[in-house]
Amino acid sequence: MIVKKIIKVLLIGLGNISFKYDLKLSKNFILTHNRAFSLHPNFKIVGAVDNNKKIIFGFSKKYKIPTFDNVKDALNKLNPELIVVSTPTKTHLKLIKEIFLFHKPKYIVCEKPLGNNLLESFEIRELCEKNNSLLVVNYQRNSSIISEKIIKFIDKNKFKPPFKITTWYSKGLNNSASHFITLFNFLFGEITNCNLIKSSHNRLIKDDFELLFKLDYENCEVIFIPVDYKNFFYNSFEMICKNGKLIYENGGENVKWYPIDKKKVTYSNYKSLSKKFQILESDYYQSQFSFVNNLWRFIHGKKSMISLGSDAILTAKIIEDLKKQNNEKR
Protein backbone atom coordinates (compact mmCIF):
# COMPACT_ATOMS: atom_id res chain seq x y z
CA MET A 1 0.00 0.00 0.00
CA ILE A 2 1.36 3.39 -1.04
CA VAL A 3 0.94 6.07 1.63
CA LYS A 4 0.69 9.53 0.12
CA LYS A 5 2.69 12.18 1.91
CA ILE A 6 0.74 15.00 3.52
CA ILE A 7 2.05 18.47 2.67
CA LYS A 8 2.35 20.96 5.53
CA VAL A 9 0.75 24.35 4.75
CA LEU A 10 1.31 27.77 6.32
CA LEU A 11 -1.17 30.58 5.68
CA ILE A 12 0.24 34.12 5.70
CA GLY A 13 -2.49 36.76 5.85
CA LEU A 14 -5.89 36.06 7.39
CA GLY A 15 -8.23 38.09 5.21
CA ASN A 16 -11.23 37.28 3.01
CA ILE A 17 -9.71 34.76 0.60
CA SER A 18 -7.72 33.18 3.41
CA PHE A 19 -10.64 32.29 5.69
CA LYS A 20 -13.43 34.88 5.89
CA TYR A 21 -15.43 34.38 2.67
CA ASP A 22 -16.95 31.08 3.82
CA LEU A 23 -16.58 31.61 7.58
CA LYS A 24 -20.34 31.79 8.19
CA LEU A 25 -21.39 29.52 5.33
CA SER A 26 -22.10 25.78 5.31
CA LYS A 27 -19.36 23.32 4.36
CA ASN A 28 -20.87 23.10 0.89
CA PHE A 29 -19.12 26.41 0.24
CA ILE A 30 -15.34 26.12 -0.24
CA LEU A 31 -14.25 29.64 -1.09
CA THR A 32 -11.09 30.09 1.01
CA HIS A 33 -7.61 28.66 1.37
CA ASN A 34 -8.32 27.62 4.94
CA ARG A 35 -11.35 25.49 4.13
CA ALA A 36 -9.95 24.09 0.86
CA PHE A 37 -6.62 22.91 2.28
CA SER A 38 -8.32 21.66 5.47
CA LEU A 39 -10.74 19.48 3.51
CA HIS A 40 -8.17 18.03 1.12
CA PRO A 41 -6.76 14.76 2.52
CA ASN A 42 -3.23 15.42 1.25
CA PHE A 43 -2.66 18.83 2.81
CA LYS A 44 -2.57 19.94 6.44
CA ILE A 45 -2.60 23.53 7.67
CA VAL A 46 0.01 23.66 10.41
CA GLY A 47 -0.14 27.38 11.17
CA ALA A 48 -1.20 30.89 10.22
CA VAL A 49 0.40 34.33 10.35
CA ASP A 50 -1.17 37.78 10.60
CA ASN A 51 -0.04 41.03 12.19
CA ASN A 52 -3.49 41.62 13.71
CA LYS A 53 -3.44 39.93 17.12
CA LYS A 54 -7.23 40.03 17.47
CA ILE A 55 -7.64 38.14 14.19
CA ILE A 56 -5.05 35.46 14.99
CA PHE A 57 -6.57 34.95 18.44
CA GLY A 58 -10.01 34.37 16.94
CA PHE A 59 -8.63 32.11 14.19
CA SER A 60 -6.66 29.99 16.64
CA LYS A 61 -9.59 29.67 19.01
CA LYS A 62 -11.97 28.52 16.26
CA TYR A 63 -9.70 26.19 14.29
CA LYS A 64 -7.20 25.05 16.97
CA ILE A 65 -4.34 25.92 14.63
CA PRO A 66 -1.13 27.61 15.88
CA THR A 67 -0.93 31.28 14.97
CA PHE A 68 1.90 33.81 14.85
CA ASP A 69 2.20 37.55 14.50
CA ASN A 70 5.46 37.34 12.54
CA VAL A 71 6.83 35.22 9.70
CA LYS A 72 10.20 34.35 11.26
CA ASP A 73 8.78 32.56 14.30
CA ALA A 74 6.26 30.63 12.21
CA LEU A 75 8.88 29.42 9.72
CA ASN A 76 11.44 28.44 12.37
CA LYS A 77 8.90 26.46 14.38
CA LEU A 78 6.76 24.85 11.67
CA ASN A 79 9.08 24.25 8.69
CA PRO A 80 6.17 24.28 6.16
CA GLU A 81 6.53 22.81 2.69
CA LEU A 82 3.88 25.06 1.13
CA ILE A 83 3.24 28.71 1.97
CA VAL A 84 0.14 30.62 0.93
CA VAL A 85 0.70 34.38 0.56
CA SER A 86 -2.66 36.15 0.78
CA THR A 87 -1.68 39.61 1.95
CA PRO A 88 -2.20 42.94 0.10
CA THR A 89 -0.46 42.96 -3.29
CA LYS A 90 1.93 45.76 -2.32
CA THR A 91 3.40 43.48 0.40
CA HIS A 92 4.03 40.38 -1.78
CA LEU A 93 7.61 41.11 -2.83
CA LYS A 94 8.78 42.17 0.63
CA LEU A 95 7.09 39.19 2.24
CA ILE A 96 8.54 36.63 -0.17
CA LYS A 97 12.01 38.11 0.38
CA GLU A 98 11.46 37.67 4.12
CA ILE A 99 10.33 34.06 3.66
CA PHE A 100 13.55 33.16 1.86
CA LEU A 101 15.67 34.74 4.60
CA PHE A 102 14.52 32.03 7.01
CA HIS A 103 13.20 29.15 4.93
CA LYS A 104 13.04 27.60 1.45
CA PRO A 105 9.58 26.08 0.97
CA LYS A 106 9.01 23.69 -1.92
CA TYR A 107 5.91 25.62 -3.01
CA ILE A 108 4.61 29.18 -2.76
CA VAL A 109 0.98 29.95 -3.61
CA CYS A 110 0.54 33.67 -4.13
CA GLU A 111 -2.70 35.58 -4.47
CA LYS A 112 -3.24 37.54 -7.66
CA PRO A 113 -1.95 39.86 -8.91
CA LEU A 114 1.54 38.51 -8.35
CA GLY A 115 3.18 41.89 -7.84
CA ASN A 116 2.32 45.56 -7.69
CA ASN A 117 3.69 45.91 -11.23
CA LEU A 118 5.50 43.91 -13.89
CA LEU A 119 8.98 44.49 -12.43
CA GLU A 120 7.88 43.23 -9.01
CA SER A 121 6.29 40.18 -10.62
CA PHE A 122 9.55 39.37 -12.42
CA GLU A 123 11.51 39.78 -9.18
CA ILE A 124 9.17 37.47 -7.27
CA ARG A 125 9.51 34.78 -9.95
CA GLU A 126 13.30 35.13 -9.98
CA LEU A 127 13.44 34.80 -6.18
CA CYS A 128 11.39 31.61 -6.32
CA GLU A 129 13.53 30.16 -9.12
CA LYS A 130 16.75 31.04 -7.27
CA ASN A 131 15.48 29.27 -4.15
CA ASN A 132 14.01 26.27 -6.03
CA SER A 133 10.45 27.03 -4.94
CA LEU A 134 7.58 26.34 -7.31
CA LEU A 135 5.53 29.53 -7.74
CA VAL A 136 1.76 29.14 -8.25
CA VAL A 137 -0.70 32.05 -8.54
CA ASN A 138 -4.31 31.72 -7.45
CA TYR A 139 -6.19 32.41 -10.68
CA GLN A 140 -8.75 29.85 -9.61
CA ARG A 141 -11.00 30.19 -12.68
CA ASN A 142 -8.34 28.30 -14.65
CA SER A 143 -8.75 25.39 -12.24
CA SER A 144 -12.54 25.21 -12.36
CA ILE A 145 -14.56 22.31 -13.71
CA ILE A 146 -16.23 24.79 -16.07
CA SER A 147 -12.90 25.82 -17.62
CA GLU A 148 -11.98 22.15 -18.01
CA LYS A 149 -15.25 21.54 -19.85
CA ILE A 150 -14.83 24.58 -22.10
CA ILE A 151 -11.35 23.58 -23.23
CA LYS A 152 -12.54 20.00 -23.74
CA PHE A 153 -15.45 21.20 -25.90
CA ILE A 154 -13.09 23.44 -27.90
CA ASP A 155 -10.65 20.56 -28.44
CA LYS A 156 -13.47 18.21 -29.52
CA ASN A 157 -14.97 20.88 -31.80
CA LYS A 158 -18.25 21.01 -29.89
CA PHE A 159 -17.51 24.74 -29.67
CA LYS A 160 -16.41 25.61 -33.19
CA PRO A 161 -14.10 28.51 -34.07
CA PRO A 162 -13.78 31.33 -34.77
CA PHE A 163 -14.79 32.72 -31.38
CA LYS A 164 -15.99 36.23 -30.56
CA ILE A 165 -16.26 37.12 -26.89
CA THR A 166 -17.72 40.09 -25.04
CA THR A 167 -16.50 40.30 -21.44
CA TRP A 168 -17.84 42.55 -18.69
CA TYR A 169 -15.71 43.09 -15.60
CA SER A 170 -15.96 45.14 -12.39
CA LYS A 171 -13.32 46.50 -10.03
CA GLY A 172 -10.28 47.02 -12.19
CA LEU A 173 -7.75 45.37 -14.46
CA ASN A 174 -5.75 43.77 -11.65
CA ASN A 175 -8.64 42.63 -9.50
CA SER A 176 -11.07 41.25 -12.09
CA ALA A 177 -10.01 41.58 -15.73
CA SER A 178 -6.80 39.70 -14.90
CA HIS A 179 -8.84 36.57 -14.10
CA PHE A 180 -10.42 36.60 -17.55
CA ILE A 181 -7.16 37.48 -19.34
CA THR A 182 -5.43 34.52 -17.68
CA LEU A 183 -8.37 32.24 -18.50
CA PHE A 184 -8.48 33.26 -22.17
CA ASN A 185 -4.70 32.83 -22.48
CA PHE A 186 -5.23 29.31 -21.17
CA LEU A 187 -8.11 28.60 -23.56
CA PHE A 188 -6.85 30.26 -26.75
CA GLY A 189 -3.08 30.44 -26.55
CA GLU A 190 -0.82 33.31 -27.57
CA ILE A 191 -2.17 36.85 -27.86
CA THR A 192 -1.54 38.38 -31.28
CA ASN A 193 -2.73 41.91 -30.50
CA CYS A 194 -3.63 44.06 -27.49
CA ASN A 195 -5.44 47.35 -28.18
CA LEU A 196 -6.89 49.97 -25.88
CA ILE A 197 -10.22 51.08 -27.35
CA LYS A 198 -11.05 53.92 -24.99
CA SER A 199 -8.74 55.65 -22.55
CA SER A 200 -9.74 56.44 -18.99
CA HIS A 201 -8.21 58.79 -16.47
CA ASN A 202 -10.60 58.04 -13.62
CA ARG A 203 -9.20 55.62 -11.08
CA LEU A 204 -12.38 54.09 -9.69
CA ILE A 205 -10.12 51.59 -7.97
CA LYS A 206 -7.03 52.64 -6.03
CA ASP A 207 -3.87 51.95 -8.07
CA ASP A 208 -5.94 50.42 -10.87
CA PHE A 209 -7.95 51.32 -13.97
CA GLU A 210 -11.16 50.20 -15.62
CA LEU A 211 -10.43 50.25 -19.36
CA LEU A 212 -12.28 49.30 -22.53
CA PHE A 213 -9.92 47.13 -24.60
CA LYS A 214 -9.59 44.28 -27.10
CA LEU A 215 -7.39 41.18 -27.18
CA ASP A 216 -6.84 39.11 -30.33
CA TYR A 217 -5.86 35.45 -30.49
CA GLU A 218 -5.43 33.23 -33.54
CA ASN A 219 -9.06 32.04 -33.47
CA CYS A 220 -10.64 34.45 -31.03
CA GLU A 221 -11.41 38.15 -30.52
CA VAL A 222 -12.26 39.43 -27.04
CA ILE A 223 -13.73 42.80 -26.07
CA PHE A 224 -13.43 43.81 -22.39
CA ILE A 225 -16.05 46.27 -21.11
CA PRO A 226 -15.75 47.74 -17.59
CA VAL A 227 -18.85 47.90 -15.38
CA ASP A 228 -18.90 50.40 -12.51
CA TYR A 229 -18.96 48.22 -9.39
CA LYS A 230 -20.59 51.07 -7.46
CA ASN A 231 -23.77 50.38 -9.43
CA PHE A 232 -23.48 46.60 -9.30
CA PHE A 233 -20.73 44.00 -9.54
CA TYR A 234 -20.65 42.04 -12.80
CA ASN A 235 -18.00 39.59 -14.05
CA SER A 236 -19.36 37.68 -17.05
CA PHE A 237 -18.80 36.90 -20.72
CA GLU A 238 -20.64 35.70 -23.80
CA MET A 239 -18.83 33.64 -26.42
CA ILE A 240 -20.21 33.42 -29.94
CA CYS A 241 -19.06 30.29 -31.78
CA LYS A 242 -19.70 29.11 -35.32
CA ASN A 243 -22.33 26.72 -33.96
CA GLY A 244 -23.86 28.50 -30.95
CA LYS A 245 -23.40 30.77 -27.95
CA LEU A 246 -21.95 30.23 -24.47
CA ILE A 247 -23.08 32.46 -21.60
CA TYR A 248 -20.76 32.56 -18.57
CA GLU A 249 -22.38 34.56 -15.77
CA ASN A 250 -21.20 35.89 -12.43
CA GLY A 251 -17.67 34.52 -12.62
CA GLY A 252 -18.89 31.07 -13.65
CA GLU A 253 -21.76 30.62 -11.21
CA ASN A 254 -24.14 29.96 -14.13
CA VAL A 255 -22.95 28.71 -17.52
CA LYS A 256 -25.31 27.94 -20.42
CA TRP A 257 -24.78 26.67 -23.96
CA TYR A 258 -27.26 27.64 -26.69
CA PRO A 259 -26.76 25.55 -29.87
CA ILE A 260 -28.12 26.42 -33.30
CA ASP A 261 -31.67 25.18 -33.84
CA LYS A 262 -31.25 23.21 -37.07
CA LYS A 263 -35.01 22.87 -37.51
CA LYS A 264 -35.78 26.57 -37.19
CA VAL A 265 -35.05 29.40 -39.60
CA THR A 266 -36.16 33.01 -39.56
CA TYR A 267 -38.61 34.45 -42.10
CA SER A 268 -35.54 35.64 -44.01
CA ASN A 269 -34.25 32.06 -44.08
CA TYR A 270 -31.47 32.59 -41.53
CA LYS A 271 -30.48 30.05 -38.87
CA SER A 272 -31.23 30.97 -35.25
CA LEU A 273 -30.24 29.83 -31.79
CA SER A 274 -32.33 27.30 -29.96
CA LYS A 275 -34.45 28.50 -27.04
CA LYS A 276 -33.41 25.32 -25.24
CA PHE A 277 -30.04 25.45 -23.53
CA GLN A 278 -27.63 23.08 -21.84
CA ILE A 279 -26.55 23.96 -18.30
CA LEU A 280 -22.88 23.24 -17.66
CA GLU A 281 -22.43 22.05 -14.10
CA SER A 282 -20.44 24.60 -12.11
CA ASP A 283 -18.10 24.35 -9.13
CA TYR A 284 -18.40 28.08 -8.46
CA TYR A 285 -19.10 27.59 -4.74
CA GLN A 286 -16.24 25.11 -4.42
CA SER A 287 -13.76 27.13 -6.48
CA GLN A 288 -10.90 26.97 -4.00
CA PHE A 289 -11.20 23.22 -3.55
CA SER A 290 -10.90 22.80 -7.33
CA PHE A 291 -7.77 24.94 -7.18
CA VAL A 292 -6.24 22.89 -4.37
CA ASN A 293 -7.15 19.62 -6.07
CA ASN A 294 -5.47 20.78 -9.29
CA LEU A 295 -2.46 21.88 -7.27
CA TRP A 296 -2.15 18.38 -5.80
CA ARG A 297 -2.40 16.83 -9.26
CA PHE A 298 0.25 19.21 -10.61
CA ILE A 299 2.64 18.45 -7.75
CA HIS A 300 2.36 14.76 -8.59
CA GLY A 301 2.90 15.20 -12.31
CA LYS A 302 -0.69 14.59 -13.33
CA LYS A 303 -2.73 16.57 -15.86
CA SER A 304 -3.89 19.76 -14.17
CA MET A 305 -4.98 23.34 -14.77
CA ILE A 306 -2.82 25.58 -12.59
CA SER A 307 -1.53 29.11 -13.15
CA LEU A 308 2.20 29.30 -12.60
CA GLY A 309 4.34 32.40 -12.11
CA SER A 310 4.99 32.54 -15.86
CA ASP A 311 1.23 32.68 -16.55
CA ALA A 312 0.79 35.51 -14.05
CA ILE A 313 3.67 37.45 -15.65
CA LEU A 314 2.10 37.11 -19.09
CA THR A 315 -1.10 38.62 -17.69
CA ALA A 316 0.92 41.36 -15.96
CA LYS A 317 2.60 42.19 -19.29
CA ILE A 318 -0.78 42.67 -20.95
CA ILE A 319 -2.02 44.90 -18.13
CA GLU A 320 1.21 46.91 -18.21
CA ASP A 321 0.82 47.36 -21.98
CA LEU A 322 -2.77 48.58 -21.54
CA LYS A 323 -1.73 51.06 -18.84
CA LYS A 324 1.08 52.32 -21.10
CA GLN A 325 -1.37 52.81 -23.98
CA ASN A 326 -3.71 54.63 -21.60
CA ASN A 327 -0.95 56.99 -20.43
CA GLU A 328 0.05 57.73 -24.03
CA LYS A 329 -3.49 58.84 -24.85
CA ARG A 330 -3.62 61.39 -22.07
Q: What is the DSSP string of 118-161?
A: HHHHHHHHHHHHHTT-EEEE--GGGGSHHHHHHHHHHHTTSSPS
Amino acid 301: pLDDT:
93
In words, the CATH class of domain 145-282+309-328 is: alpha beta
Quick one: 122 exposed, middle or buried, by C-beta within 10 A (0-12, 13-18, 19+)?
A: middle
Whole-model pTM: value is: 0.93
DSSP H/E element including 295 = helix 287-299
The pLDDT tens digits for 228-262 are 888 889 999 999 999 999 999 999 999 999 999 98
Amino acid 252: pLDDT:
95
Q: How far is CA 85 from CA 9, 82, 95, 107, 289, in A?
A: 11, 10, 8, 11, 17
User: Where do the structural domains in the chain lie, given as residue ranges?
Assistant: 7-140, 145-282+309-328
Neighbours of 251 (CB within 10 A): 22
The CATH T-level fold of domain 7-140 is Rossmann fold (3.40.50)
Amino acid 209: pLDDT:
84
List beta partners, residue 48: 11, 67
Tell me: pLDDT of 220 over 70. Answer: yes
Mean predicted lDDT score pLDDT of the chain = 94
| Contact partners, residue 52, CB within 8 Å, separation at least 6 | 14
Mean pLDDT value of segment 130-156 = 96
Tell me: pLDDT of 203 over 70. Answer: no
The pLDDT tens digits for 265-315 are 777 778 899 999 999 999 999 999 999 999 999 999 999 999 999 999 999
Tell me: pLDDT of 18 over 90. Answer: yes
